[in-house]
Amino acid sequence: MDALEQNLGHHFSDPELLKRALTHASAHAVLSNERLEFLGDRVLGLIVAEKLHALYPDEAEGALALKFNTLARGAACARAAEAAGLSEHIILASSERASGGRQKPAILSGACEAVIAALYLDGGFDAAKNFVERYWDEMFATLGADMRDAKTKLQEWAQAPGRGGSAPVYTLVNRDGPDHAPRFVVEVNVEGLGSEQGEGGSKREAEQDAAARLLTRASTPT
């Protein structure tokens, strides 16, 4: 774990805490990272909110909320997990590994939130904050003026002149996990473009993930 601790910027006094943060429910239902994920989500939210409050002193609550949703959602956590090299350390059941679990956004996101909680419990708020500032720095820097969410952008794309005017259709495909840390899979379909699935800790987050994936397809030259 030495290389991983270097990436995290913290040496754990309790290595078992880090191990648990990296243990997916498929590998151990009882000693999984789901409780840590619950805590890490709240710690991340506080860090992001505090930083946005300091960076944008003149912005109203609504504008801050849009930025917060971009930075605290699952897609941002999955991106940070990849940058921090968490993927290769996540403990998964063999069946989950075989199905590409190390690359699944929901698993990466959950592990990242759990690691943030482990850092908080082992090293205090500053340890968690240092990690977030390191791996969210680029995301903070690239917050653009266009803060419309992915569902709004996809609807505008689908209903633009010349595209038929059909609104995206969202369908809940699956919901699993415990009540305190559910995982949702949602499929979005746009006539003439096709469909994509997204994952998230809420139905709305999964819808946003699916919309973002389909938007990527729409913007990719064929």
Is 10:115 a contact under the CB 8 Å cutoff?
A: no
Is 84:113 a contact under the CB 8 Å cutoff?
A: no
H-run or E-run covering 184: strand 183-190
16 is annotated as an active-site residue: no
Which residues of the chain are in CATH 3.30.160.20 domains? 150-219
Query: What kind of fold does domain 150-219 have according to CATH?
Result: Double Stranded RNA Binding Domain (3.30.160)
Q: Which two tokens stand for residue 161?
A: 């002149």
Q: 37, 41, 122, 196: which one is catalytic? A: 41
Domain at 2-141: CATH code = 1.10.1520.10
41 is annotated as an active-site residue: yes
**pTM recorded for the entire structure:** 0.72
Which residues of the chain are in CATH 1.10.1520.10 domains? 2-141
Q: 34, 37, 96, 113: which one is catalytic? A: 113
Q: Per-residue pLDDT tens, the chain, 222 aa: give them.
A: 789 999 999 999 999 999 999 999 999 888 899 999 999 999 999 999 999 999 999 888 888 888 898 898 888 899 999 999 999 999 999 999 898 889 888 899 999 999 999 999 999 999 999 999 999 998 898 876 555 678 888 888 888 877 767 889 999 999 988 887 788 999 999 988 899 998 888 888 889 888 888 888 887 665
